[in-house]
Structure 1
Amino acid sequence: MNKEDQEIIDRSESIAIKYLKDTYSLNDVVITGRQMQPKMAMSWVTFYGYVSQHEDQSFNVSINYKENQTESFSFSPELEKALIANGYDPYQLND
């Protein structure tokens, strides 16, 4: 991986973690994987992970690194239940 791609991934990961923290108060998450889409296809980096201490509460967050914003958020049924129980609407993408 070249330096530019690593910088994109690092910046995008910070945006993803901030999104989870600010939108759903998920202050402690574990990122388990990263996937940068081919630049000719789309300007996204997708992060895979789970809520710390709750591996069943998994998620994927895709960040548009050209716009520096969240493009999509998907989650396991267990995380959906936890978010709803805490008063959040997991189907509203807030940025």
Structure 2
Amino acid sequence: MDKKDQEIIERSETIAIDYLKETYDLDVTITRRQMQPKMAMSRVSIYGYITGNEDQTFIISINYETGLKEMFAYSPEFKKALLVKGYNL
């Protein structure tokens, strides 16, 4: 992986972490980062879980050209944690 791709991945990870903190007041642990093929899409997928709760997993995809969240999926346990905090999903 070249330096530019590494910077894109790191910037996307920061955007994902900030989104989850600002939107749901969550501290998360990142377990994997994957850049999708550039010819198909401009997206980095970030995988992780709510810190301290490894069963509360998520995947969030960030468009590295726009800096916006494109997709957000989560486990049933993650959903329950957000519902307990008062979020309607």
Q: TM-score, normalised by structure 1?
A: 0.91
Which letter does structure 2 place at the counterpart of 1:44? R
For residue 89 of structure 1, report the CA deviation from its aligned partner: 2.7
Matching of residues 6-45 of structure 1 within 5 Å: 6-26=6-26, 28-45=27-44
For residue 88 of structure 1, report the CA deviation from its aligned partner: 1.2
Encode CA deviations 1:62-88: one digit per residue, 9 max, x unaligned.
Answer: 000000010111000001011011111
Match of 2:5 in 1: 5
Match of 1:93 in 2: none
Matches of 1:54 and 1:46, distance apart in 2: 20
Q: TM-score, normalised by structure 2?
A: 0.96
RMSD: 0.7
Which letter does structure 2 place at the counterpart of 1:52? T
Which runs of 4 or more aligned residues in structure 1 lie more than 6 Å from their structure 2 counterparts after TM superposition?
none
Matches of 1:60 and 1:37, distance apart in 2: 13
Q: Percent identity?
A: 62
Match of 2:52 in 1: 53
Matches of 1:34 and 1:71, distance apart in 2: 15
Encode CA deviations 1:12-38: one digit per residue, 9 max, x unaligned.
Answer: 000000000011110x21100011000
Which letter does structure 1 place at the counterpart of 2:10? D
Structure 1 residue ranges without an equivalent (≥5): 91-95
Q: What secondary structure, in the 3-state scheme, does the structure 2 residue paired with 1:32 have?
A: strand
Matches of 1:83 and 1:13, distance apart in 2: 21
